[in-house]
A and B are shown apart, each in its own frame.
Chain A
Amino acid sequence: MSEPVLRLSGITRRFGALVANDGITLDLAAGEVLALLGENGAGKSTLVSILFGHYVADAGTIEAFGRPLPPGDPAAALAAGIGMVHQHSTLADNLTVLDNVMLGTEPLWRPLSRRREGRARLVATAERFGLAVDPDARVARLSVGERQRVEILKALTRDARVLILDEPTAVLTPQESEALFTTLRGMVAEGLSVIFISHKLDEVLRVSDRIAVLRTGRLVAAMPSRGTSKAALAEAMVGRAVAPPVAKPHARGDVVCVLDRVAMRGERVGERLDGVSLALHAGEITAIAGVAGNGQAALVDLLCGMRAADAGSVTLGGAALPADPRGWIDAGAARIPDDRREVGTLGDLPVWENAIAERYRRPFASGGIVRRRSARAYARRLVDRYDVRGAGIDTPVRTLSGGNMQKLIVGRALSGGASKPDAYLPTLIVASQPTWGLDAGAVAWVHQQLLDACARGSAVLLVSEDLDEIFALADRIAVIHGGRLVPPRPAKQWTLAEIGLAMAGVRDAA
């Protein structure tokens, strides 16, 4: 093997008591795609942030092309030929593609921008790597996949020799992901190196030459992709074998929640719904697939009682409900919001108050006085039953890990303040991105909870951007795009390609 383009030796970084990176030593060869695999919180992002100079390592050194890289200096990383494509677009929406690519490449004191030169460079790079873009298109009008292409071009026109992609497929349709993989192969053929961060096993196996697995800050395995199996990777990632959730047999029951030609207005696409009709049945999981920001937020807000429909009607259990969260809670809606920290929990309040937050008037208060003893006993049972770890009931919720916070939220929603386990069954469960950012064990746990509740007779609406999750759980799948809904069909009648087209807004995909 030739001289590595990047050499990380003994990288260690602590955040307080947490060791985010623990003595990580890793090489990257020229013309190689290295996948960095790990669960949320395993230390992937910290490692590349150190590499790109956002953080300074507590210990360890980085060499790029044989020369030491000064720590904590993104400009030096750029100059050394390291380019980074972030998960969320960092482009300026109101500028053109060319403007965005040239932004920051020219000294401010130069009176005139050398646009002709910049354009020639952009076009040449785009051609070389087969990345078609219109240099004069405004970024605001581009799709997410196109924006990502611009981000990659931006790095490439700055002569990046090493490209870091942070969860690049998280916001893409399957077709767009496919196009990205083709691009990556072209780049590698040109002698570039790629670090590809992901937690999706399938795509990691397909796209990479070598896989480095991180777990709790340590490099636990590094192996060539060829000859590695998904199961082996999963075990390396989690540290133990994870049992997949088991679906119990469940039968479709009556309609419990009906949306009839619902429209919602909003400034952004994600806040709008346009003529959405949907019927949710007891004992059935209906999933909404879609690329982020296509109206999922509006739909979830509507079914959590946070926003009202501007037109059309919504009923739960036959009754129309106003935009009032308490009304929805009392009508039997169990709500699992996507934002655990800002919506699902009251961070500074203790675990026990969060456990009763949705039911603080009934049944945990009488005459305006909180029934502290029964509330705390309930919280204790909830913490036991749903295995919320890392805290007593008096610690502030913000100190819990994401997984434990989610267990508390799910447990709270499914228990409904009932004193006995299983004495309560929600009519409707609204789960928005319920496993976002959770580790594999917690993901399986959340999935099992949803399947169990469904088997007992709840109607479940699962909103997710993760197609693997949708196919694993859903009985029916609908696709949302631009605030419009492609009506649900049984999961078995969809192919991945069809869903991809529907997610991209191709209407006659069916």
Chain B
Amino acid sequence: MRLEARGAVSPAMALAAPVVAVAFTLAVAALFVAWAGAPVGRTYALIFEGGFGSRFAWSETLTRATPLILTGLAAAIAFRARLYNIGAEGQLYAGALAAVAVGGLHGGTGFDLPPALLLVAMFAAAALAGGLLMALPAFAKTRFGVDEVVTTLLLNFIVLLFVSMMLDGPMKDPAAMGWPQSVALREELELPKLVERTRVHAGLLIAIGLAVLSWTAMRATTFGFEVRAVGANPRAARFAGVPVARTLLLVALASGAAAGLGGAIEVAGRTGYVTLDMSPGYGYTGIVIAMLAGLNPLGVVAAAVFVAGVLVGADSMSRAASVPTYIADVIVAVALIAMLVAALAARYRIRLR
């Protein structure tokens, strides 16, 4: 059995790939639902209803999608240059911590700045924290050839332990009755809600805005060309005069910044402070989302909404049916594998001898 490259991938096939992948995923997950002893149709109906079936469901899905769009962008930008950033989880926490460090109530007061300026400073600090955290492995890669998959993955654990230290130490909230929780963000810095009596906040608009910006940059700027050239073939890119190391470093900064902003936006839009369980693996789910989106920044928005809907819908479904909420993880994981296979099948045809 061998793989043969097809010619150009037709647009129809590029569009069909994710659709087929999702259909396959639902079919596989159906087996698990049946195994759990629940009626498959009803379970899927409940998931759909819980994720997309009402105003409330939509609001919850979009709230959940907000950080996922940003971690999805982090992965999509970096992967396009074949810089494998597996560290969005850590970068998200670093951004969240930086946001509270700048905009939090330290000892009852915060920095004495106008709120608008402080808001900008807070986001800048979060972006910088995430960006620098990713720049380090990128530098090690370009300079010493260290595999960034390993370094970014392991940095996640280091960052989480660092956050844990800060939450039990200098940034601990004295009013939290001993819980490891950071001081609260100043109230003026919290992002406004988009819809009355829901949790959807202005962070969603920031995330979508950044997705549109990334898409435009990838397509229309010289930097976008450099990123795609380095991703296509670093040697040929260098031959054509692309500064490969600098491009990778800038990609790392952009990718880490997106994840860092994701952390700041979670704090400013939803939680109001940092805890160790504020992200149920948004950084890792972002990778799945980027792959589902075919690394297209606009596709990331759609993929993030889909995944968020499945996660939220599964939560509400498990309260009504006898299927554990883990079915959401199964769906997301199978979707990733199915998408990878579908992307491969769109580019290559399989030939038996």
Contact = CB atoms under 8 A, between A and B. Distances in A.
B11 to A, nearest CB: 11
Interface string B78-96: 0000000000000000000
B222 A344 contact: no
A360 B8 contact: no
Contact of A357 (B7, B221, B229): B229
Interface in A342-373: 342-349, 353, 357-358, 360-361, 365, 368-370, 372
Given A347-B232, A349-B232, A399-B7, A370 B225 contact: yes
Contacts of A335: 239
Contact of A395 (B8, B228, B237): B8
Nearest to B6: A16
A349 B231 CA distance: 10
Contacts of A368: 221-223
A304 interface: yes
Contact of A56 (B223, B226, B353): B353
A325 B221 contact: no
Nearest to A357: B240
B222 A369 contact: yes
Contacts of A16: 4, 6, 349
B236 interface: yes
A329 interface: yes
Contacts of B221: 365, 368-370
B233 interface: yes
A326 B235 contact: no
Contacts of B240: 325, 346, 357-358, 360
A18 to B, nearest CB: 10
Interface in B320-353: 349, 353
Contacts of B228: 346, 349, 353
A370 B240 CA distance: 16
Nearest to B8: A395
Contact of A348 (B223, B232, B239, B353): B232
Max chain A CB contacts within 10 Å: which of B226, B228, B240, B242?
B240
A391 to B, nearest CB: 8
Contact of A396 (B8, B224, B238, B243): B8
Contacts of B349: 16
B280 interface: no
B145 interface: no
A418 interface: no
B236 A372 contact: no
A337 interface: yes
A357 B235 CA distance: 13
A311 interface: no
Contacts of A344: 236, 239
B8 A325 contact: no
Interface string B214-256: 0000001111111011001101111111110000000000000
* Residue among B223, B228, B232 with most chain A CB within 10 A: B232
B170 to A, nearest CB: 41
A335 B226 CA distance: 20
Contacts of B220: 369-370, 372
Contacts of B239: 304, 306, 325, 335, 337, 343-344
A357 B240 CA distance: 6
Nearest to A324: B241
Contact of B241 (A345, A358, A395): A358
B353 A343 contact: no
Nearest to B240: A357
A346 B230 CA distance: 9
Interface string B243-273: 1000000000000000000000000000000
Contact of B229 (A15, A56, A349, A361): A349
Interface residues of B, number: 27
B232 A360 contact: no
A349 B218 CA distance: 13
Contact of A346 (B7, B223, B224, B233): B233
A326 B226 CA distance: 13
Contacts of A306: 238-239
A365 B236 contact: no
A365 B222 contact: yes
Interface string A331-344: 00001010000111
A344 B241 CA distance: 12
A353 B8 contact: no
B339 to A, nearest CB: 18
A15 B223 contact: no
B229 A343 contact: no
Contacts of B235: 342-343
A334 to B, nearest CB: 13
Nearest to B347: A348
Nearest to A55: B353
B317 to A, nearest CB: 40
Nearest to A15: B4
A72 interface: yes
A345 B236 CA distance: 6
Nearest to B233: A346
Contact of A342 (B5, B236, B241, B243): B236
B232 A361 contact: no
Contacts of A396: 8
Contacts of A326: 241, 243
Contact of B238 (A56, A325, A370): A325
A409 to B, nearest CB: 10
A412 B16 CA distance: 35
Nearest to A395: B8
Given A56-B353, A369-B221, A370-B222, A346 B232 contact: yes
A295 B231 CA distance: 29
A365 B239 CA distance: 19
A218 B223 CA distance: 47
Nearest to A337: B239
A459 to B, nearest CB: 20
A361 B6 CA distance: 32
A346 B237 contact: yes
Interface in A409-429: none
Nearest to A18: B4
Contacts of A353: 225, 228-229
Contacts of B353: 56, 72
A231 to B, nearest CB: 36
Given A306-B239, A343-B235, A346-B233, A360 B225 contact: yes
Contacts of A369: 220-222
B172 to A, nearest CB: 44
A121 B239 CA distance: 50
A348 B80 CA distance: 12
Contacts of B4: 15-16
A324 B235 CA distance: 13
17 contacts: A16-B6, A325-B240, A325-B241, A343-B235, A343-B236, A344-B239, A346-B236, A347-B232, A353-B225, A353-B229, A361-B241, A365-B221, A365-B222, A368-B223, A369-B220, A370-B224, A395-B8
Given A353-B228, A372-B220, 4 more contacts: A306-B238, A329-B241, A343-B235, A357-B241
**9 A-B pairs closest in CB distance:** A326-B241, A357-B240, A346-B232, A325-B241, A348-B232, A399-B7, A365-B222, A395-B8, A343-B239
Interface of A: 15-16, 56, 72, 304, 306, 324-326, 329, 335, 337, 342-349, 353, 357-358, 360-361, 365, 368-370, 372, 395-396, 398-399
